[in-house]
């Protein structure tokens, strides 16, 4: 769970399942309240959670939408999400093995949400997914996604990756590098 939501004091398997899913419920509740304050009129038929992991936000969306779909590129995450699914009649998970969302038809969701996902994907693929979000969103639907607006220099230089590549080029056995 920490790999999905890296909160410092939860490092080392300190998330309980209840806390983890409650955190998702609070995030979605806050988002829905914010959308109401902004005056967004939102149909509540279907929602897509892009990069769902084990379903922290997908499960929470079931409080606000009749049908929710979580999509992820990891078959392991989808398997875990199905195992955690408390609402199997209204909440479904889909594996997405392509760099687009072609498995979903045009205009199929009232709400599309992606948080803490796109920054892990190359800009070209992220752009392709955003096009997909717009395509699968119904007219009048709401799309909310997050992308980083500032990357600290310490993250931009990627010193661990650079050191790995240098040591690898020098012939250091990869078993010792990992």
pLDDT digits (tens, 9 = 90+) for 19-61: 768 888 998 999 999 999 998 889 999 999 999 988 999 999 9
Q: What is the dihedral of CA 26, 30, 32, 34, to 10 degrees?
A: 180
Residue 5 reports pLDDT greater than 60: no
Which segment of 8-17, 25-34, 57-66 scores lowest on mean pLDDT? 8-17
What integer pLDDT is reported at residue 93 of this predicted model?
97
C-beta separation of 103 from 83 below 8 A: no
Per-residue tokens: 93: 């998970």
Largest Cα span, the chain: 59
Which segment of 3-7, 34-38, 142-146, 171-175 scores lowest on mean pLDDT? 3-7
Mean pLDDT of all residues belonging to the chain? 86
Q: In angstroms, what CA-CA distances link 4 with 11, 64, 72, 122, 161?
A: 11, 22, 12, 18, 21
- pTM for the full model? 0.78
Q: Which CATH number fits domain 8-147: 3.90.25.10, 1.10.10.10, 3.40.50.150, 3.30.70.260?
A: 3.40.50.150
Residue 103 reports pLDDT greater than 90: yes
Domains of the chain, by residue range, sit at 8-147, 152-178
pLDDT digits (tens, 9 = 90+) for 107-153: 999 999 998 788 778 888 888 999 999 999 999 999 999 876 666 67
């Amino acid at each position: 769970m920490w790999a999905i939501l890296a909160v410092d004091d939860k490092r080392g398997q300190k998330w309980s399942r209840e806390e983890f899913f409650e955190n998702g419920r609070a995030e979605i509740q806050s988002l829905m309240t914010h959308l109401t304050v902004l005056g967004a009129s939102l149909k509540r038929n279907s929602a897509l959670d892009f990069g769902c992991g084990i379903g922290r936000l997908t499960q929470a969306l079931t409080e606000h939408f009749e049908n929710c779909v979580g999509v992820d590129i990891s078959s392991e995450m989808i398997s875990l999400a199905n195992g955690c699914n408390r609402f199997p009649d209204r909440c479904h998970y889909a594996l997405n093995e392509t760099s687009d969302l072609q498995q979903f038809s045009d205009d199929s969701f009232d709400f599309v949400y992606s948080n803490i996902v796109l920054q892990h994907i190359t800009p070209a693929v992220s752009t392709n997914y955003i096009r997909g979000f717009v395509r699968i969103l119904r007219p009048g639907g709401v799309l909310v996604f997050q992308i980083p607006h500032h990357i600290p220099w310490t993250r931009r230089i990627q010193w661990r990756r650079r050191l790995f590549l240098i040591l690898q080029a020098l012939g250091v056995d990869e078993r010792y590098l990992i």
